[in-house]
Amino acid sequence: MGDHCRKRHWQYDTGHSGFAGAGIDVLEKEPCPADSPLWDEPNLLMTPHSAGYCQNLDERKIQQFVENFRCYIKSGKIPMSLDKTKGW
């Protein structure tokens, strides 16, 4: 795991380590190493890179593509696009 995933980087101004809660589906190294400090976090839910799965996923992807394509043809823009100027 990179330094950004170590407990010392999760310390708040109060000096307490940990966080209120989080869910992680993608890690820098997968599977998560057995000696990772992430395993010891009680308020952390880790899933095995599977959070994107849902019922009828392929059908929903196609529907979203068609909707985005129609919007692009009509306006030249794609809904919910990445905006690098905003940092997301």
Q: How many CA atoms lie within 13 A of 39 on its CB side?
A: 7
List, in sequence order, every residue forming a beta bridge with 46; answer none if it has no partner: 24
Q: What is the mean pLDDT of residues 19-33?
A: 84
Neighbour-count burial for 2-33, b at 16+ CB within 10 Å, e otherwise: eeebeeeeeeeeeeeeeeeeeeeeebeeeebe
Q: What is the pLDDT of residue 75?
A: 94
Name the residue ranges covered by the structural domains of the chain. Answer: 3-86
Which pTM was predicted? 0.43
Q: What is the rounded distance in angstroms from the CA atom of residue 28 to the CA atom of residue 5?
A: 9
pLDDT tens by residue, 28-83: 888 889 998 888 888 888 888 777 777 888 898 899 999 999 999 999 988 888 87
Q: Phi/psi of residue 57, each to 5°?
A: -60, -50
